[in-house]
Chain A
Amino acid sequence: MAYSVSETDHPTDRYAEYKNRVLTLVFGDKFGLLLFVSSLAFFGLFWRVGFFITDNYTVANGLYNAANGHLLVTDIVYGPPSGETPGMIAGDGGRYSRTVGHIVLTLPVMWALEALTSVADLRVVLTGLWSSAILATGVVLGRVLKKESLGRTAGAVVAAVVFVSNIAVATHLDGRWLAHLSLQITSMLAAALTSVLIYRLVSRTHTTRAGVAAGLVVILATPVGFWATIPKRHALIALCVVTTVYSFYLSRETTDSEKSLRFRALSYVFVGLATWVHAADAFILFVSLLVVDLLTASSNSRRELTVVFGAFGLSLVPFFVTNSVVTGNPLLPPRFMPGYEATEVVSTGGGAESSSSTGGSGASGQSTSSSSSNGATGDGTTEAGSASSPESVFAPVFTAVQAASLTVAELGSILVRHLSRTAERATDTHRLTATFVRAGYIESVARKDFGQSANLSMLEAMPVFAAVVLLPKAAVRRVRAHGRDALSATDLLVAVYAVVLTLMYLPRLPLHASITVRYLLPAMPLFVYTVFRFTESRELLQYPRALGFSYFGTVVIGTQLLLTYALMLEASIGEAMQIHALFNLVAAACLAVWVLFHSFVSEQARPVGAVVLGCVCGLTTSFLLLSGTMYLATDSGYVLPLIDWLNAQLSWL
């Protein structure tokens, strides 16, 4: 490899080259970078300070303790002081938070913020970061439009203005929010990267324009934006899923077999990283990838499989290490452990030599399914530990294998039980309709949401999903064409993943506190990819002016009208959500009708389709903005002082 460092080499040049290489690796090109920074600026608008969902307490407490050097959750800084929050598990020697991958990935952010707040004001730092995202958007936009100096100046002016106006109304932001804010930052970064990856995928499979449109749709017109600022696992899993699909596509696209193998292995690496965040979601991805990969690979030689699974095995190392720390068994993910219950009684059950300083971290109150597995593995590991006598060298190996097989058998039986339940419920049309088409008021769900029917269906939350009606037609076309190329293989992977994900979660859906079918969020960026796979949808992008005007019109005017309507009705949260649901459904129906029947319309009327798409996306953006800043606000306000102030001004309404 040619590598020269000459005397004349300027260090800044080397830095610039290195920077360019990293930027290209992550963002692809300037369009990817533009999507990234602009989506961060957008997400910042509804960056809440408080906790939206009780599971967040667990992860934030986990991060706080991890930043202090231990995964064991000894200090509870958020939520109920008992630490008894959803997702807190009774692990090996005390309580632990699940979603450890998210915690570890966020550690650098947390430390950086901690360091910054020791010299600077937290609120001003975060406002400055957000204003910098706007500045970066200006700079990159200038570069894209080939008006670099104008972009720099305009970006700087706009950023300075928003910064100053924010600081004018800024209030103190307490440092105790640090852990939660850091988790939100990584979640937003993941959501922004998801849009970048969808752009890279679609711009490779189709045109740059389609790619940019798809990336924008992911940010502005899907619930990905909604969950970006709520640090659940969803945004991270969505990112792992799209990176897997993108790597898979690259592995099939290239003709170079070495390169192909590298990308093939890489797609498994992202699955391995996903296990660290959420094992069950990663398993769904793994099954889909494995089946489609083995089926569509040009060859499955022993060497190739060794490389692929070797890489996968290595990517599982963080997962195994976490499991051993948390559950005492590398194969048993934290999610299968019983929930933590604050009791003073230390149970006599397996795996509970709990003597943590907080006391009462026993494994009592285990659910039936996990108690048996925990018991089995607990016994297994203790035997393995005690059998280090010189009598039998193989005893530890034997007991370890026994424990592992017990764990695998137990995990298998959980899976079988789940699958049989799925099979039972997949034919339930009510459930499918409520999940995908119209949710409305469902008594059993609303009861757990304080009587509010605040949960939307897939179509209500993401009306652009309506374009998927083209699927049967396109599928028939595809089968006729007998494609076995890179694109077909990727389509197959996307389809299999979406179906497996839906089937695995269907028994639990519709569910309370899910707002936008959040369990299916990882598939939503892929649905955007699907939408832009259809020629009919891509044709709509030929009218950028109609699309742009209708989109911005809907966002600027429609948002105000929707808010006024909700205020006039004195709408409750459930009602406000249903107003959006109904409007989105109508928009979705229009889009579906258009893409199906547009061929009957004369050539001059074609821009109407673009207007429909613009309205569909605009309505979803309105939903993101209004739900994020008005309906579903938290008591502790927003990170951006201006949004905080606006929210307070409107609270009398």
Chain B
Amino acid sequence: MVTWRDPVVLVLSCFLLTAVVSGPVVAGVDLTPEDRVDDDSSTFTGATGSVTVSETTIPSERYTLRQGVTGSGIHKLDAPMSTVSVETTSGPVLVMYSLRVPELSYDTEVFRTVDEGFSGELTVGLDDASVPSNRLENDTYRATVEISVREESGKRVLDQREITIVVA
């Protein structure tokens, strides 16, 4: 005979009770808030500030196209990180890192947002970049790396460098 002390009945009633308590019928109790993650990444509303940069370094070597896992049919682009030394920031700006390989008509861009008051070193680089293996014909490719910022006054190129990508 099933009684109320039966663990199964007990647990099932707990589930139901919790669901109802957290539901619209019981006001004031909500076990499922909209978002539990602390919202520290402020939403970017546009490049309305400006930035002063003391130095930008784009490494010239160690750019490689490395073959992906067998059967994936891609070569992955490994690029060393570039650094931007930021002195002052007034208002939010965008830092853009772009890498172009004209021979492969390949172009990739990575954006970083910089908030007001930031100063120090900022590293930028590729996230996840790959090229279909069957498009690769040469052993090396010329490419251009460019770092720029988008400020209130528009886009400004910080540094640009011609580099060589080696197909590994």
A residues near B, CB below 8 A?
116-121, 123-125, 128, 131-132, 135, 139, 152-153, 155-157, 159-160, 163, 167, 169-173, 438-441, 443, 446, 451-453, 569-572, 574-579, 581-582, 645, 648
Q: Mark B69-99, 1 if CB is under 8 A from A, else 0.
A: 1111110100000000000000000000000
Contact among A159, A438, A575 with B68 in the assembled complex (CB-CB below 8 Å)? A575
For residue B92, give the distance in angstroms from its CB to the closest CB of chain A.
Answer: 22
Chain B residues whose CB sits within 8 angstroms of the CB of A645 once the complex forms: 36
Q: Are B15 and A128 in contact (CB under 8 A)?
A: yes
Determine the distance from Cα of A648 to Cα of B38 in the docked complex, in whole angstroms: 12
Find the residue from B20, B22, B25 having the highest chain A CB count within 10 A.
B22
B40 CB contacts on chain A under 8 angstroms: none
Instruction: Report the Cα distance A574→B71, complex, angstroms.
Output: 9
**In this assembly, does B27 line the interface, its C-beta being within 8 Å of a C-beta of chain A?**
no
- Across the interface, do B73 and A574 meet the contact criterion of CB distance under 8 Å? yes
Contacting residues, chain B, for A575 (C-beta < 8 A) = 68-69, 72, 74
Residues of B near A439 (CB, < 8 A) are: 71
**Is B35 on the interface with A (CB-CB < 8 A)?**
yes
Least Cβ–Cβ distance between A437 and chain B, in angstroms? 12
Interface residues of B in 114-168 (CB under 8 A from A): 128, 130, 132-134
Q: Size of chain B's interface in residues, with CB distance under 8 A?
A: 37
Q: How far is the CA of A131 from the CA of B10 in the complex (A)?
A: 13
B10-55, CB < 8 A from A:
10-12, 14-16, 18-20, 22-25, 30-37
Q: Within 8 Å of chain A (Cβ to Cβ): is B8? A: yes
Q: How far is the CA of A117 from the CA of B22 in the complex (A)?
A: 11
Q: Once the chains bind, are B69 and A171 in contact (CB under 8 Å)? A: no
Contact of A648 among B11, B37, B76 (CB under 8 A): B37
- Please name all residues of chain A whose beta carbon is closer than 8 Å to the beta carbon of B134 when the two chains form the complex: 443
Given A121-B19, A443-B134; A157-B7 close (CB under 8 Å) = yes
A119 and B74 form a contact (CB under 8 A) = no
Chain B residues lying within 8 Å of A120, measured Cβ to Cβ, are: 16, 19-20, 22-23, 25
In the assembly, what is the distance between CA of A441 and CA of B18, in Å?
Answer: 49
A124 touches B19 (CB 8 A): yes
Which residue from chain A places its CB closest to the CB of B20 in the assembled complex?
A120
The residues of B that contact A124 with a CB separation of less than 8 Å are 15, 18-19, 22-23, 31-32
| Shortest beta-carbon distance from A100 to chain B in Å | 31
Say whether B130 contacts A125, CB under 8 Å: no
Chain A: interface secondary structure? helix
Q: Which residues of B contact A117 (CB under 8 A)?
A: 23
A-B contact pairs, 7 of them (CB 8 A): A120-B16, A120-B19, A128-B16, A155-B7, A156-B7, A441-B74, A578-B72
A452 and B19 CA atoms in complex are apart in Å by 41
Tell me whether A128 and B20 are in contact in the complex, defined as CB-CB below 8 angstroms, given that A121-B31, A171-B34, A440-B73 are known contacts. no
Q: How far is the CA of A484 from the CA of B129 in the complex (A)?
A: 60
Alpha-carbon gap, A159 to B32, bound state (A): 19
**Supplied contacts A172-B30, A572-B130, 14 more A-B pairs, CB within 8 Å:** A119-B24, A121-B30, A132-B12, A135-B12, A152-B6, A167-B18, A171-B32, A171-B33, A172-B34, A440-B73, A569-B69, A575-B69, A577-B72, A582-B69
Which chain B residues border A453 with CB–CB below 8 Å?
71-74
Report whether B32 and A172 are in contact in the complex, using a CB–CB cutoff of 8 Å: yes
- Contacting pair A451 B74 (CB below 8 A): yes
Which residues in B have their C-beta under 8 angstroms from that of A579?
69
* B14:A160 contact, CB within 8 angstroms: yes
Expressed in whole angstroms, the minimum distance between the Cβ of B98 and any Cβ of chain A is 19
Max chain B CB contacts within 10 Å: which of A120, A156, A581? A120
Closest beta carbon of chain B to A619's beta carbon, Å: 16
B128 x A155 contact (CB < 8 A): no
In the assembled complex, which residues on chain A have CB atoms less than 8 Å from the CB atom of B32? 121, 123-124, 170-173
Compute how far the CA of A578 lies from the CA of B73 in the bound complex, rounded to whole angstroms.
10
> What residues on A are CB-neighbors of B14 within 8 Å?
160, 163
Instruction: For the complex of A and B, list the 8 residue pairs with the smallest distance between their C-beta atoms, beginning with the closest.
Output: A441-B73, A156-B7, A128-B15, A440-B71, A120-B19, A120-B23, A121-B22, A124-B19
How far does the alpha carbon of A574 sit from the alpha carbon of B19 in the complex, in Å? 40
- Given A118-B24, A119-B24, A167-B31, the answer on whether A572 and B11 have CB atoms closer than 8 Å is no
Interchain CB contact under 8 A, B20 and A139: no
Which residues on the A side are within 8 Å of B73 (C-beta)? 440-441, 443, 446, 453, 574
B33 cross-chain contacts in A, Cβ below 8 A: 171-172
Inter-chain CA distance A579–B24, complex, in Å, is 46
CB distance from A432 to the nearest CB of B (A): 18
Residues of B within 8 A of A173 (CB): 32
A451 to B72, CA, bound (A): 9
Q: A572 to B127, alpha carbons, bound, how many Å?
A: 11
Enumerate chain B residues within 8 angstroms of A569, measured Cβ to Cβ: 69
Give the distance in Å from the alpha carbon of A451 to the alpha carbon of B131 in the complex: 9
**Known A170-B32, A578-B69: A572·B74 in contact at CB below 8 Å:** yes
- Picked from A139, A167, A171, A572, the residue with its CB within 8 Å of the CB of B72 is A572
Complex: A306 Cα to B71 Cα, angstroms: 54
Chain B min CB distance to A56 (Å) = 24
Contact between A572 and B71 (Cβ–Cβ < 8 Å)?
no
B132, closest chain A residue (CB): A451
Contacts of B76 in A (CB 8 A): 570, 572
Query: For the complex, what is the distance from the CA of A351 to the CA of B160, rounded to whole Å?
Result: 62
Tell me the bound Cα distance from A576 to B133 in angstroms: 17
List residues of chain B with CB within 8 A of the CB of A125. Answer: 19
Asked if residues B10 and A441 are in contact (CB atoms below 8 Å), the reply is no
Residues of B within 8 A of A581 (CB): 71
Q: Are A152 and B31 in contact (CB under 8 A)?
A: no
User: For residue A153, which residues in chain B have a CB less than 8 angstroms away from its CB?
Assistant: 7
Given the contacts A128-B18, A167-B31, A171-B33, A152 and B69 also touching, CB distance less than 8 Å = no
Chain A residues with Cβ below 8 Å from B10 are 156
Assembly CA distance A135 to B10 (angstroms): 11
A169 to B31, CA, bound (A): 9
A158 to B35 alpha-carbon distance, docked (Å): 27
Whether A159 pairs with B35 at a CB distance below 8 angstroms is no
CB distance from A154 to the nearest CB of B (A): 9
Q: Is the CB of B69 within 8 A of A128?
A: no
Least CB distance, B168 to chain A, in whole angstroms: 14
- A460 to B22, alpha carbons, bound, how many Å? 44
Residue of A nearest to B78 (CB): A570
Report the Cα distance A159→B11, complex, angstroms.
8
Q: How far is the CA of A572 from the CA of B134 in the complex (A)?
A: 17
B63 CB, min distance to chain A CBs, angstroms:
16
**Most chain-A Cβ atoms within 10 A of its Cβ — which of B6, B10, B72?**
B72
User: B8 to chain A: which residues have CB within 8 Å?
Assistant: 135, 139, 152, 155-156
- The answer, among B20, B24, B31, B74, for a CB contact under 8 Å with A170, is B31
Q: Within 8 Å CB of A119, what residues of B?
A: 20, 23-25
In the complex, chain A residues whose CB is within 8 Å of the CB of B16: 120, 128
Bound-state Cα–Cα, A264 to B57, Å: 77
In the complex, what residues of B have CB within 8 A of residue A160's CB?
11, 14
* Chain B residue, CB-CB nearest to A136: B8
**B residues near A170, Cβ cutoff 8 Å:** 31-32
A128-B19 contact, Cβ under 8 Å, with A153-B7, A171-B33, A575-B68: yes
Residues of B within 8 A of A582 (CB): 69-71
